[in-house]
């Protein structure tokens, strides 16, 4: 059994590899041998890690390197044609001068299509990345051509988008204040250090994990707090790589102090002294802003070895991901932090008891941490306090968590962000009350359907939940009933707008608990398709995404994702698709059951959904 210090060498390896890749654009044999010698590991250990991550290159790069997003919203806006034009340009100028890579989602779905250029356009301020979004198709070739010829086209920024998102949000309880006024929740805790009060606030609020799983935040914090061990960690999952999802991008850029304060509160409650923000490497503006905010917090005394003169310690670092969608899975992320191949762990044990370096670890999403300050500091309105006092006469304005508890709609708790993109007039990240309907999000926030085209389909969780039609067929959702005080079902339905007859998808409530009860998957990224969208093309692209991003550890995921892609491509190329659809439906359903049952992580469990739901709702027999 290796000691904790020996196991921590892995994080050092990861940082050394990142530094080499960033500095010279590739990792050579001599780099692997040097790093191996410095950390006392065989070269094969370093090589094993390098070979896993897509961001690490083993060959000297082209002078100009271009990543063009190929997923979902960018595909709708013409990214395939852009990639083809850029490949033709690479053939003309030479691949040693231009390398074009069709990348998985770059996290700018609201301003599709998205492209990142590295190489000859690089400068120290941008760390070699230049972002270009929301341009006309032909403009992307002109930009790249100009870069190759020595021009430096002005790059785009996430700044304006992030500020606009924050201006219409309630999450930032410090919005109008100065930097010195921040970290009031930390100061308040240190004056009255009650772990139970913080845990109870999260429980009262009903705060859930915003990364997809939707687990109660208070239970993770409490489990890590009570877990035995002197060394504990707090980790923020900012590896926002799910196609269609970009809301964390906005929070990290416009309100990084909320995330830092939420993590600091988790550390103070649990006893952790070290934290990491694990962030995707395509978010360079966000990385720079986070590092700046951490330095500011240290100067204020909100981070470091003596937080606000309390004698408490919490140090925080930014850890840049070497790439890969699977890193967003919490145990795979921990493996990457430890300098290993990012392959998901078998569970149990859970991270709260056996996380980073096998020590108790709190791991939450960016948005989950960011809600903590306002949950602890904001007080409920008089009306909401009266509602609470009807259930609990002892409740007061100081009862923690009540503001957030009553911020939802229709019995739902809290507020949350949704990233919504596709065929819409105002795609973007919107903070909304939990429990509003999909139709409200589309029409009242995102401005309705682009050019007035009819709604064809919605992906409610990026590709993970597949595609649902505008009208859900009979008996495609469950209809839970209300319960009385004794827990017995009443005659009244919990969601009266829904029925077993065909149901307008716009009526679905946007709430994690509701989605589970009704029987559909709800994530943070929603993609909306108008009547002109080619859903088979989208299903093929989403299936290819899962095949490429599979880590290969699970045989059912590795082989099943390949079989799904093969079937989808056969259907696209078939002369008589109706004749093979029934067989494909049976095969896709069987693969889905096997992969859901036997895959270790969520990637394998949902990899069949884009094609399976296409066959169920949109296949040619229904046209």
What is the DSSP secondary-structure string of 330-392?
HHHHHHHHTTS---PPPSSSPTTTS-GGGS-EEEEEHHHHHHHHHHHHPPPPHHHHHHHHHH-
- Residue with structure tokens 């082209």? 62
**Mean pLDDT across the stretch 309-334?**
94
Span 407-417, pLDDT tens digits: 999 889 999 99
Report how far residue 457's alpha carbon sits from residue 108's, in angstroms, rounded to the nearest whole number: 21
Q: Is the pLDDT of residue 143 over 60?
A: yes
Q: Which pLDDT does position 426 carry in this prediction?
A: 98
Q: What is the mean pLDDT of the chain?
A: 92
Q: Per residue in 191-214, pLDDT tens? A: 999 999 999 999 999 999 987 778
Residues 299-320, mean pLDDT to the nearest whole number: 96
pLDDT (average), residues 426-437: 97
pLDDT at 315 over 80: yes
C-alpha angle 163/166/458, rounded to 5°? 105
pLDDT over threshold 70, residue 120 = no
Q: 620 falls in which pLDDT band (50, 70, 90)? A: low
Which pLDDT band, with edges at 50, 70 and 90, does 179 fall under?
low
Whole-angstrom CA distances from 583 to 563, 571, 590 are 13, 11, 11
What's the CA angle centered on 496, arms 494 and 501, to 5 degrees? 115
Q: Over range 88-100, report the average pLDDT.
A: 95
Domain boundaries, the chain: 4-50, 64-156, 162-374, 415-533, 535-623
- Looking at domain 535-623, its CATH class is mainly alpha
Whole-number pLDDT of residue 175: 83
Q: Answer whether residue 623 shows pLDDT above 70.
A: no
Whole-number pLDDT of residue 496: 83
User: Per mean pLDDT, which range of 23-37, 148-162, 171-185, 321-335 is the poorest?
Assistant: 171-185
pLDDT of residue 8: 77
Identify the CATH class of 162-374.
alpha beta
Q: How far is CA 255 from CA 366, 373, 514, in A?
A: 11, 12, 29
Q: How far is CA 585 from the centre of its chain?
A: 30
> pLDDT at position 479, please?
87
Give pLDDT, residue 560.
Answer: 93
460: which DSSP letter?
E
pLDDT of residue 494: 86
17 closest CA partner among 58, 60, 70: 58
Q: How far is CA 349 from the centre of its chain?
A: 23
Kindly report, residue by residue over 469-524, the tens digit of the pLDDT.
999 998 888 888 888 878 888 888 888 888 888 999 999 999 998 898 998 999 99
Q: What tens digit of pLDDT does each residue of 219-276 get?
A: 999 999 999 999 999 999 999 999 999 999 999 999 999 999 999 999 999 999 999 9
* pLDDT for residue 314: 98
282: its two tokens: 């395509």
Instruction: Say yes or no to pLDDT of 217 above 60.
Output: yes
Question: Per-residue pLDDT tens for 526-556?
Answer: 999 999 999 999 999 999 999 999 999 989 9
What is 228-258 written as a DSSP string? S-S--EEEEEE---STT--HHHHHHHH-HHH
What pLDDT shows up at residue 290? Answer: 98
Tell me what pLDDT residue 491 has: 85
Q: Output the pLDDT for position 4.
A: 67
**Cα atoms found within 13 Å of the Cα of residue 366, Cβ hemisphere only:** 27
Say yes or no to pLDDT of 150 above 70: yes
Quote the CA–CA distance of 245 and 461 in Å, as a whole number: 9
Which CATH topology does 415-533 take?
Answer: Ubiquitin-like (UB roll) (3.10.20)
CB-CB neighbours of 135 under 10 Å: 17
Rounded CA separation 564/588 (Å): 7
Query: For 3-53, what is each residue's pLDDT tens digit?
Result: 666 667 888 898 999 999 988 889 999 999 999 999 999 999 999 999 999
Closest among 170, 139, 173, 166 to 153, alpha carbons compared: 139
Looking at residue 6, what is its pLDDT? 63
Of 114-123, 144-153, 280-289, 437-446, minimum mean pLDDT range: 114-123
pLDDT for 332-388, tens place per residue?
Answer: 999 999 999 999 999 899 999 999 999 999 999 999 999 999 999 999 999 999 999
- What pLDDT does 83 receive? 97
Look up the CATH architecture of domain 64-156. Answer: 3-Layer(aba) Sandwich (3.40)
Q: SS3 helix, strand, coil % of the chain, rounded to 5?
A: 45, 15, 35
| pLDDT reading at 123 higher than 50 | no
Give start and end residues of each alpha helix (H) in 149-255: 159-167, 184-191, 195-205, 217-226, 247-254
- pLDDT for res 48: 93
Give the pLDDT score at 178: 63
pLDDT of 157 higher than 50: yes
Least confident of 114-123, 184-193, 604-613: 114-123
């Amino acid at each position: 059994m290796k000691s904790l210090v020996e196991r921590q060498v892995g994080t050092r390896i990861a940082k050394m590899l990142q530094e080499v890749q960033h500095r010279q654009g590739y990792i050579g044999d001599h780099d692997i041998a040097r790093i191996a010698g410095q950390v006392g590991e065989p070269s094969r250990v370093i090589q094993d890690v390098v070979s896993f991550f897509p961001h690490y290159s083993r060959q000297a790069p082209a002078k100009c390197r271009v990543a063009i997003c190929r997923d979902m919203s960018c595909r709708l806006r013409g990214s395939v044609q852009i990639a083809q034009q850029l490949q033709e340009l690479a053939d003309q100028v030479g691949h040693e001068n231009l390398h074009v890579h069709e990348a998985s989602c770059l996290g700018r779905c609201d301003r599709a299509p998205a492209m990142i250029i590295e190489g000859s356009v690089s400068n120290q301020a941008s760390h070699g990345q230049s972002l270009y979004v929301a341009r006309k198709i032909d403009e992307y070739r002109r930009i790249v051509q100009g870069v190759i010829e020595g021009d430096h086209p002005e790059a785009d920024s996430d700044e304006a988008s992030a500020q606009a998102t924050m201006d219409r949000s309630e999450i930032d309880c410090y919005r109008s204040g100065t930097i010195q006024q921040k970290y009031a929740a930390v100061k308040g805790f240190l004056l009255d250090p009650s772990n139970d009060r913080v845990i109870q606030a999260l429980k009262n609020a009903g705060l859930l994990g915003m990364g997809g799983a939707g687990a109660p935040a208070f239970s993770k914090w409490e489990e890590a707090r009570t877990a035995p061990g002197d060394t504990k960690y707090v980790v923020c999952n900012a590896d926002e790589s799910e196609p269609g999802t970009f809301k964390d991008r906005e929070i990290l850029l416009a309100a990084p102090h909320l995330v830092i304060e939420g993590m600091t509160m988790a550390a103070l409650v649990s006893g952790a002294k070290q934290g990491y923000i694990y962030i995707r490497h395509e978010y360079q503006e966000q990385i720079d802003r986070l590092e700046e905010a951490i330095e500011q917090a240290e100067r204020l005394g909100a981070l470091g070895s003596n937080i606000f003169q309390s004698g408490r310690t919490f140090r925080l670092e930014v850890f840049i991901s070497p790439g890969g969608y699977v890193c967003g899975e919490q145990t795979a992320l921990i493996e990457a932090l430890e300098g290993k191949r990012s392959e998901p762990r078998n569970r149990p044990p859970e991270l709260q008891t056996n996380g980073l370096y096998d020590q108790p670890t709190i791991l939450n999403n960016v948005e989950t941490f960011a809600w903590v300050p306002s949950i602890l500091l904001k007080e409920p309105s008089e009306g909401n306090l009266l509602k609470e006092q009807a259930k609990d006469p002892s409740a007061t304005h100081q009862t923690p968590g009540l503001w957030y508890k009553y911020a939802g709609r229709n019995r739902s708790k809290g507020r949350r962000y949704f990233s919504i993109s596709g065929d819409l007039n105002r795609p973007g990240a919107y903070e909304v009350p939990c429990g509003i309907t999909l139709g409200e999000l589309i029409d009242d926030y995102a401005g309705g359907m682009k050019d007035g085209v009819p709604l064809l389909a919605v992906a409610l969780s990026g590709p993970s939940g597949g595609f649902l039609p505008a009208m859900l067929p009979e008996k495609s959702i469950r209809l839970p009933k209300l319960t009385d005080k004794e827990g017995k079902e009443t005659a009244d339905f919990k969601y009266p707008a829904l029925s077993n007859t065909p149901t307008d998808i716009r009526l679905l409530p946007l709430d994690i608990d509701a989605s589970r009860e009704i029987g559909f998957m709800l994530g943070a990224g929603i993609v909306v398709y108008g009547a002109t969208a080619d859903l088979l093309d989208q299903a093929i692209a989403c299936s290819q995404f899962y095949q490429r991003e599979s880590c290969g550890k699970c045989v059912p995921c590795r082989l099943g994702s390949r079989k799904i892609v093969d079937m989808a491509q056969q259907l696209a190329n078939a002369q008589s698709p109706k004749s093979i659809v029934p067989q494909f439906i049976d095969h896709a359903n069987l693969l889905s059951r096997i992969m859901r049952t036997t895959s270790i992580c969520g990637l394998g469990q949902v990899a069949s959904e884009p094609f399976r739901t296409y066959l169920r709702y949109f296949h040619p027999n229904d046209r």
